[in-house]
């Protein structure tokens, strides 16, 4: 997938902007607050129908403007298509178009332009709590596997119901009678979550480790290990076996759940540990190492997307070069050879030798 050309009118700090892109690397250079991230945000909006920095559409419209008009010519599955979104400042629903035809729902634009985004917050994935890492797996799998998305939705619903039953058990002890039914269905859907996550993480590790090795000049080995419910010793076993192990865990934790009034059993606490040369990254990785691994994970996610859909998503890298040494910067700028990449950076002297350098000042192309 490739973006051939992008036009923006009244989007964020862009009054009127048009630019054709390189099919390889596009390096977007500019000082702070000139509109580099805004440009990635526009691409993301056309790709996903939502922005990554805000949920409020009004914030995307240029101050004082009545509407924002974003459009792109893209190459997708060998065909040239166009995507367009018009957002209105007044209380009027946005309009979406695919190759000139108005589409009533965002889903109809799904898959025309897939993007994988790295933004500085993604560094938290490797440094912060388990929720961020679970989200990384869930987001990717929900896009790739409809069956997984359904199981996750059902699991979350059951978890909320079970949590409510445990919480209310002093006032309404009869609620506890519902727990066996919740447990049964949570073990069934939980087994789907665990086996799918385990397999995906294994594939992700294989690709991410290869990228990280090249990125670090061969000096660092990245490994990812899945952590789930303690009784599930082999999360890649058939779902039926994982289901049985989940039932064991539920049984042995039932008392504790009732006493603590909390759900203690199930894959809602899942996590994975990232390590470099065997050392857990959370405790020992440097800033540059964390950044390298986070970008390698994105490159791997993109590979797996390609393996599944047959097309390589466009890679959007926001502010990736800071904290990287010259060798690692060179990897980002000149050695990501596959597919189309957008990289933003503030350093004026940076150029890419395998693509196009685009300079931005106050929402204008220089």
Q: SS3 for 71?
A: strand
Least distance in angstroms from the C-beta of 59 to ligand ATP: 6
List the single partner that 35 binds among ligand ATP, Mg ion, none, CB under 5 to 8 Å by kind. Answer: ligand ATP
Q: Does 37 bind Mg ion (CB under 5 A)?
A: yes
List the single partner that 256 binds among Mg ion, ligand ATP, none, CB under 5 to 8 Å by kind. Answer: none
- Of 7, 13, 47, 265, the one binding ligand ATP (CB under 6 A) is 13
Rounded to an integer, what distance in angstroms lies between the CA atom of residue 98 and that of residue 214? 38
Q: Exposure string (b/e) for 84-100, b if CB count within 10 Å is 16 or more?
A: bbbbbbeeeeeebeeee
Q: Look-up: residue for tokens 């990449």?
A: 341
List the single partner that 250 binds among Mg ion, ligand ATP, none, CB under 5 to 8 Å by kind. Answer: none
Q: Which of residues 311-330 bind ligand ATP (CB under 6 A)?
A: 319
Nearest to 95 by CA among 138, 129, 20, 45: 45
Interface pattern 230-269 for ligand ATP (x via CB under 6 A): ----------------------------------------
Cβ atoms 27, 329 nearer than 8 A = no
List the single partner that 170 binds among Mg ion, ligand ATP, none, CB under 5 to 8 Å by kind. Answer: none
Token digits for 74?
């893209």
> Which is nearer to ligand ATP, 89 or 237 (by Cβ)?
89
List the single partner that 207 binds among ligand ATP, Mg ion, none, CB under 5 to 8 Å by kind. Answer: none
Q: Exposure string (b/e) for 254-293, b if CB count within 10 Å is 16 or more?
A: beebeeeeebbbbbbebebebbbeeeebeeebeeebbbbb
Least distance in angstroms from the C-beta of 321 to ligand ATP: 11
Question: Phi first, then psi: what are they for 128, rounded to 5°?
Answer: -95, -155
Nearest to 184 by CA among 163, 160, 155, 164: 155
β-pair type (115-118, 314-317): parallel
Interface pattern 17-36 for ligand ATP (x via CB under 6 A): -------------x-xxxxx
Least distance in angstroms from the C-beta of 25 to Mg ion: 18
Binding site for ligand ATP (CB under 6 A): 12-13, 30, 32-38, 59, 61-63, 319, 344, 346
Binding site for Mg ion (CB under 5 A): 37
């Amino acid at each position: 997938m490739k973006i051939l050309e992008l036009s923006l009118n009244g989007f964020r700090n862009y009054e009127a902007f048009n630019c054709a892109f390189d099919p390889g690397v596009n390096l977007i250079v500019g000082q702070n607050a000139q509109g580099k991230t805004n440009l990635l945000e526009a691409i993301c909006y056309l790709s996903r129908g939502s922005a990554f920095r805000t949920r409020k559409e009004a914030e995307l419209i240029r101050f004082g403007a009545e509407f924002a008009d974003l459009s792109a010519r893209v190459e997708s599955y060998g065909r040239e298509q166009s995507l367009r979104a018009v957002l209105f400042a007044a209380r009027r629903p946005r309009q979406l178009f695919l190759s000139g035809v108005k589409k009533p729902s965002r889903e109809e634009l799904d898959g025309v332009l897939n993007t994988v985004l790295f933004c500085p917050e993604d560094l938290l994935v490797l440094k912060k709590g388990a929720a961020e890492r679970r989200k990384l797996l869930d987001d990717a799998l929900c896009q790739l596997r409809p069956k997984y998305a359904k199981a996750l939705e059902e699991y979350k619903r059951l978890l909320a119901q079970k949590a409510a039953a445990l919480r209310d058990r002093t006032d309404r002890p009869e609620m506890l009678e519902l727990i066996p039914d919740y447990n049964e269905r949570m073990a069934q859907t939980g087994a789907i979550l665990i086996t799918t996550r385990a397999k995906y993480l294994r594939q992700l590790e294989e690709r991410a480790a290869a990228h990280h090795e090249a990125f670090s000049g061969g000096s660092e080995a990245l490994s990812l290990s899945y952590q789930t419910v303690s009784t599930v010793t082999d999360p890649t076993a058939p779902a039926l076996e994982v289901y049985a192990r989940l039932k064991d865990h539920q049984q042995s934790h039932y008392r504790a759940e009732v006493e603590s009034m909390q759900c203690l059993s199930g894959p809602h606490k899942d996590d994975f540990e990232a390590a470099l040369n065997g050392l857990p990254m959370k405790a020992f990785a440097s800033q540059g190492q964390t950044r390298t691994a986070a970008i390698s994970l994105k490159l791997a996610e993109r590979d797996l997307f390609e393996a599944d859909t047959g097309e390589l998503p466009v890679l959007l890298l926001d502010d990736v070069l800071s904290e990287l040494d010259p060798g690692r910067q060179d990897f980002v700028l000149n050695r990501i050879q596959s597919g189309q990449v957008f990289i933003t950076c503030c350093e004026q002297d940076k150029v890419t030798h395998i693509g196009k350098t685009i300079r931005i000042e106050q929402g204008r192309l220089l």
